Structure 1
Amino acid sequence: MTVGIGVIGAGMIGQDHVRRITDVVTGAEVVAVADVDAARAEEVASRVHARALASGQDVIDDDLVDAVVVTSWGPTHAEYVLGAIEAGKYVFCEKPLATTAEDCLRIVDAEQASGRRLVQVGFMRRYDAGYRAMKQVIDSGEIGAPLLMHCVHRNRSAPESYHSDMAVQDTAIHEIDTIRWLLDEDIVSAQVVKPRRTSNRFEHLQDPQFMLFETASGARVDLEVFVNCRYGYDIQCETVGETGTVRLPDPESVWVRGAGQLRANVVQDWKQRFGAAFDLEFTEWVSSIEDARPAGPSAWDGYAAAVISDATTEALHSGHVVSVLLKDRPAFYG
């Protein structure tokens, strides 16, 4: 079986996924592409011998499209995900699932009404080899009950269009999902501490930010978000348990000794750091479609991340500890 995939959104991440589905994943092919820029859709589609369609809804309605990938502008995600559910088609949506928690709930309700799991959200950290090894250790009980988690998310630089809320909504959102997944419990409160700001940033931006989370069991998590660190793209995570710790490994790099120094390279961007995770994410997603058994990050995970993100953004502006108020998780999502 070859899964025909329609891609809605032909920007940077959309083009990367078109390449990935074509060159890396087996059992799937891109058959249709749509973008608000019709010329760009034509150009991207022509690379893989697909058809450029006029709109995202045309992609969803196309008979050759078995599954949909949504990589369009965030505020359009809910419309296209809901359209795919209505059409009974599997849909992979890059984060965010929707730009409001209310729209995320609409998707959750629509998916439940359909009676099938159709939605997967693009939280690719779950497919990284290091994170998967860390989860295996935590789940095994080898380090005892988790008590603390320390996380770091650093980018070399951020463009002028990047604003303070994006540190939560676009950057920390990956850690928010990863924390829930690694510890297998929800975050119940959020706080943001504002350290001294780096001089290497635009005036409108609070950078770095220090976020503090509490989970339902009382575990405490701290997260440093620093998007103008200047030296590279640096992702770190350590979980401290009752009887031991587990730490995310650094990306593989040779160590060079010479001239009185010991040095290793630091990766410079997210593509370099998580390229293999993206590849595995799509490989497993296509396999789950073939088996009709979706197992990746769900619409409920997208909803939970949105609510936690909203609470953290409120904490950034208020300076207070803000409670996270999630609906009860439906049995549909296990």
Structure 2
Amino acid sequence: MTATETLPAVPVAEPIPADLRVAVLGVGLMGADHVARLHRRISGARVAVVSDAAADRAGQVAAEVPGCRVVPDPLAAIADPEVDAVVLASPGRFHEEQVLACIERGIPVLCEKPLTMEAGSSLGIVRAEDAYTARTGRRLVQVGFMRRFDPEYAQLRELIASGAIGEPLVVHCAHRNPAVPPGVTTESIVQDSVVHEVDVARFLLGEEIAAVTVLRPRSTRHAGEGLSDPLLVLLETTGGRMVDVECFVSTGLAYEVRTEVVGEDGSAMIGLGQGVVRQSAGPAGAVRSTVIAPGFRERFALAYDLELRRWVDAARRGTVDGPGAWDGYAAQAVCAAGVEALRTGRRTEVRLESREATQS
């Protein structure tokens, strides 16, 4: 199976007739955004339960949604008979247990990245869902790689598939944050930021990542103590394509994400604030925008809306419409290789189980 191939969706015997009753676990920045999004902008669903380790925060968020209850224990929230589906925005260290609980109960779950904290436990999620699918014909797990829903990324993928720029050869990515919170480490830059480019590469090219190299340029004076920033990451795909990533998380400016695909017959770039900019032979030149979003929530606001809308619609039909458990596992396997490459300074091959092996 390729990096973008999905199994056919199989409807449940009795689709949910009323609004999907959703539990949101973890209502910090992302979780609270998801609650507001589901409540105000997504039809066909309502937030029935919220759960968070901070009781005051959970109470404040629930108070904004009529009929929403606080269930302090996240596993009890998953088991609640008035919950049909779950959005996981809890800290990553809790994801494994919570996703497995959703699979055990047989309800859809949208899990913010990471799927789990390690490739091995993410593979365990894949196997657990495969076993469930073998019994029921249904998939339950979606991972929150929201860039796949961004119109620019979708258009770029369609352009590549059309053959208009020929075979893609090289992908250039820039991922720049204005700042990061205290405590961010160089390894977490790979795990929490570069991971998005890993999924983007798999999404655009339809191939797995075979090897990773990480280089440390001279660090900016704005970097926190002990932080190597920026990083240059080289991803090699199974088809021999190269993806280079500049990840710079303390620019002091704004949030800037760009992706350029260079093909045999032309190139195309997104992230300039004006849709896909295609370059090819001809008299017309490309005009570049100077508008940069202040943060990721602004840059990908529409992507988050589309992600939640499609997830709700799919969950009501008994399907998954987006990146699944395998995508979460593959991303973790690449990031594990990236962390090893960072530590050793050497090119590191990605250790990835075959998709068929997980289903045997």
Q: TM-score, normalised by structure 1?
A: 0.94
Of residues 205, 208, 224, the one that matches 1:186 is 208
Per the alignment, in what secondary structure is the counterpart of residue 81 of structure 1?
helix
Tell me how far apart the structure 1 counterparts of residues 150 and 303 of structure 2 sit (CA, whole Å).
Answer: 5
Tell me how far apart the structure 1 counterparts of residues 334 and 51 of structure 2 sit (CA, whole Å).
Answer: 31
Of residues 339, 342, 352, the one that matches 1:313 is 339
Of residues 312, 320, 323, the one that matches 1:294 is 320
Tell me how far apart the structure 1 counterparts of residues 300 and 245 of structure 2 sit (CA, whole Å).
Answer: 19
Alignment of 1:1-334 (within 5 A): 1-49=18-66, 50-115=68-133, 116-252=138-274, 264-330=290-356
Tell me how far apart the structure 2 counterparts of residues 159 and 167 of structure 1 sit (CA, whole Å).
Answer: 12
Q: Which amino acid aligns with 1:19?
A: A
Tell me how far apart the structure 1 counterparts of residues 62 and 131 of structure 2 sit (CA, whole Å).
Answer: 33
Q: In the TM superposition, what whole-angstrom CA distance separates every residue of 1:48-84 from its partner, at most 9, and x where no partner exists?
A: 0200012111111111110011111110001100000
Tell me how far apart the structure 2 counterparts of residues 146 and 263 of structure 1 sit (CA, whole Å).
Answer: 24
Q: Which amino acid aligns with 1:292?
A: G
Tell me how far apart the structure 2 counterparts of residues 330 and 234 of structure 1 sit (CA, whole Å).
Answer: 38
**CA-based RMSD:** 1.6
Tell me how far apart the structure 1 counterparts of residues 352 and 121 of structure 2 sit (CA, whole Å).
Answer: 14
Tell me how far apart the structure 2 counterparts of residues 24 and 123 of structure 1 sit (CA, whole Å).
Answer: 20
> Which stretch has the larger CA shift, 216-225 or 140-149?
140-149
Inter-CA distance 179–36: structure 2 relative to 1 (3 Å threshold)? same
Tell me how far apart the structure 2 counterparts of residues 171 and 133 of structure 1 sit (CA, whole Å).
Answer: 22
Per the alignment, in what secondary structure is the counterpart of residue 247 of structure 1?
strand
Q: Which amino acid aligns with 1:93?
A: C
Inter-CA distance 282–332: structure 2 relative to 1 (3 Å threshold)? farther
Q: In the TM superposition, what whole-angstrom CA distance separates every residue of 1:284-308 from its partner, at most 9, and x where no partner exists?
A: 0011112222121000000000000
Tell me how far apart the structure 2 counterparts of residues 43 and 234 of structure 1 sit (CA, whole Å).
Answer: 32
Per the alignment, in what secondary structure is the counterpart of residue 72 of structure 1?
coil
Tell me how far apart the structure 2 counterparts of residues 154 and 20 of structure 1 sit (CA, whole Å).
Answer: 25
Q: How far 1:331 moved relative to its partner?
A: 8.9
Q: Which amino acid aligns with 1:56?
A: P
Tell me how far apart the structure 1 counterparts of residues 182 and 61 of structure 2 sit (CA, whole Å).
Answer: 28
Q: In the TM superposition, what whole-angstrom CA distance separates every residue of 1:196-235 from its partner, at most 9, and x where no partner exists?
A: 1111112210000000011001001100000111221110
* Aligned 8 A contact 1:251 1:273 in 2: no
> Which stretch has the larger CA shift, 299-308 or 282-291?
282-291
Q: How far 1:136 moved relative to its partner?
A: 0.2
Tell me how far apart the structure 1 counterparts of residues 195 and 146 of structure 2 sit (CA, whole Å).
Answer: 11
Q: How far 1:266 moved relative to its partner?
A: 2.0
Per the alignment, in what secondary structure is the counterpart of residue 330 of structure 1?
helix
Q: TM-score, normalised by structure 2?
A: 0.88
Q: Which runs of 5+ in 2 are unaligned?
A: 1-17, 276-287
* Aligned 8 A contact 2:51 2:71 in 1: yes
* Aligned 8 A contact 2:148 2:200 in 1: yes
Q: Which amino acid aligns with 2:54?
A: D
Question: What is the match of residue 259 of structure 1?
Answer: none
Tell me how far apart the structure 2 counterparts of residues 252 and 267 of structure 1 sit (CA, whole Å).
Answer: 12
Percent identity of equivalent pairs? 42
Tell me how far apart the structure 1 counterparts of residues 86 and 233 of structure 2 sit (CA, whole Å).
Answer: 34
